[in-house]
């Protein structure tokens, strides 16, 4: 699969990318919050999110593209897909990045591209791979030296897993991959070789 292959309905993906020349994507807390607001606006209609992390220069998300109804592109132009979607799923991600880039550039008085293109997308068809991607995402801040445990990093979905507040994150389904909450916590509290996971995931 190449980075430009279309996102397939019903398929899990590891979505990730970074700033051009490793430039900062998020310079302050307002940037993080604004990106997440745009993420909900653009991505929630087309994908369920199971994990995610925003790092200063890059991001990772574990998503499943929603199972869409049959393609109605051959019908008259005024006809809309019953799901409400008018574009292929990958275009919603592109729209997210474009919208954020415009806002970021205005906010920080810069111009030009912000994200590398195309954004990275790796399909996942294996249950063990799903678990490893989730662990990799939550331990990314630890791997890059921002904290000693995922609990200490605020821009990761890990804290949402520990919360009982309502969330659009598919945390219950993700925890079921670990059989129960105890195994989920144990997997995050144990010693994790993130670099080995990275190599295994071929990131």
Q: Which CATH number is 86's domain given?
A: 3.30.70.1290
Phi, psi of 40 (to 5 degrees): -65, -40
- Report residue 5's pLDDT band, with 50, 70 and 90 as the boundaries: confident
Distance of CA 99 to the CA centre of its chain: 16
Please state the domain count of the chain.
Answer: 1
Q: Is residue 117 part of a domain?
A: yes
CA distance 49 to 24: 23
Q: Is residue 59 part of a domain?
A: yes
Domain limits for position 187: 12-201
Strand order in 12-18's β-sheet? 47-54, 58-65, 12-18, 120-124
pLDDT mean over 8-29:
96
* pLDDT at site 67: 86
Q: Is residue 4 part of a domain?
A: no
How does the average pLDDT of the chain come out, rounded?
Answer: 87
Q: Is residue 151 part of a domain?
A: yes
Q: Is residue 7 part of a domain?
A: no
Q: Is residue 5 part of a domain?
A: no
Residues 6+ apart with CB under 8 A from 116: 17, 18, 19, 20
Question: Per-residue pLDDT for 189 more than 60?
Answer: yes
Name the residue with higher pLDDT: 67 or 97: 97
Whether the CB-CB separation of 66 and 46 falls below 8 Å is answered with yes
CA distance 103 to 45: 21
For residue 175, what are the CA distances in angstroms to 37, 154, 161, 184, 197?
24, 20, 8, 6, 19
Q: Is residue 193 part of a domain?
A: yes
pLDDT mean over 110-124:
95
User: What predicted TM-score, i.e. pTM, was given to this entire model?
Assistant: 0.87
* pLDDT at site 200: 62
Query: Using the 8-state DSSP alphabet, how is residue 19 labeled?
Result: B
């Amino acid at each position: 699969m190449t980075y430009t292959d279309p996102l397939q309905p019903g398929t899990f993906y590891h979505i990730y990318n970074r700033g051009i020349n490793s430039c900062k994507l998020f310079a302050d807390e307002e940037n993080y919050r604004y990106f997440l607001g745009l993420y909900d606006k653009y991505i929630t209609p087309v994908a369920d999110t199971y994990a995610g992390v925003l790092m200063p220069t890059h991001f990772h998300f574990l998503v499943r593209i929603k199972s869409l109804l049959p393609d109605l592109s051959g019908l008259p132009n005024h006809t809309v897909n019953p799901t409400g979607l008018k574009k292929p799923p990958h275009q919603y991600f592109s729209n997210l990045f474009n919208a954020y880039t415009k806002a970021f550039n205005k906010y920080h008085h810069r111009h030009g591209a912000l994200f590398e293109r195309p954004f990275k997308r790796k399909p996942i068809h294996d249950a063990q791979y799903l678990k490893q991607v989730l662990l990799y995402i939550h331990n990314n801040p630890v791997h890059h030296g921002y904290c000693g445990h995922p609990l200490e990093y605020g821009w990761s979905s890990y804290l949402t897993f520990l919360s009982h507040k309502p969330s659009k994150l598919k945390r219950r389904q993700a925890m079921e991959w670990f059989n129960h909450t105890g195994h989920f916590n144990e997997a995050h509290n144990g010693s994790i070789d993130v670099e080995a996971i990275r190599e295994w995931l071929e990131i």
